[in-house]
Amino acid sequence: MRSPLSSLHTQLEVAVRHPGSADRATRGPALVEESERLSRLVDDLVRLARLDAPPRLCMRPVDLDEIVFREVRHARRHASVVFDQGAVSAARVYGDGDALARVVRNLLDNAIRYADRRIEVSLGVRDRAAHLVVADDGPGIPVADRRRVFDRFTRLDGARARGTGGSGLGLAIVRDLVVVHHGRIGIEDNAPGARIVVRIPATDH
């Protein structure tokens, strides 16, 4: 939390000490961006704290496809990349709706951060499991880093970390929530880019 807090404090301090010279039109959006970044970080930390405690999830049959459509619709309003959700089909799982929405949201946020022009989202049921895939056309993730990106506070060096401003918590939260739902998560090549694949047991009820 030190980085966004320090940046926010510095900008506010300059504005207070030099009110006549402060360019509000420039500083205003920057302050909003930093405060939003801090808010996301606090939200992530709260989520992790809850996951570390005994889980209190409301488990019930959930239509995962409805969650995916809703989260993609929301993501479209805040991103300039193209979303392709043509391969999303019905998939019902037994889980917590809010937690699964967080999984989809974090995967989309991660893809938006690195995508060049396009994000593809697919969902279907195979071998009694719902397969959710979020793929971007960005720089991809080296094979050697594909396990550790799910560790808390991990931020990659190089192209995959350019200008992200991420906390290194998003994918860790996804991994923990998927595990709570008795699922698995992995990363594959997308040529170019990365494909993050989530598998959660499906239910017919």
Same domain, 193 and 105: yes
Query: What is the domain count for the chain?
Result: 2
Same domain, 12 and 86: no
Is it the case that residue 26 has pLDDT exceeding 70? no
DSSP run (H or E) holding 18: none
Listing DSSP states for 67-121 in one string gives: HHHHHHHHHHTT--SEEEEEEE---EEEE-HHHHHHHHHHHHHHHHHH-SSEEEE
Residue 160 is predicted with a pLDDT of 47
Same domain, 13 and 92: no
DSSP run (H or E) holding 126: strand 118-126
In this structure, what CATH number is given to the domain that contains residue 96? 3.30.565.10
| Alpha-carbon span 180 to 173, nearest angstrom | 11
User: Which residues span the domain enclosing 132?
Assistant: 60-201
- pLDDT tens sequence across 106-161: 999 999 999 999 999 999 999 999 999 999 999 999 999 998 888 876 666 544 44
Lookup: tokens for 75: 């993501």
Is it the case that residue 68 has pLDDT exceeding 90? yes
Same domain, 129 and 32: no
What phi and psi, each to the nearest 5 degrees, are found at residue 38?
Answer: -65, -40
Is it the case that residue 167 has pLDDT exceeding 60? no
Lookup: tokens for 95: 């889980």
Residue 162 is predicted with a pLDDT of 43
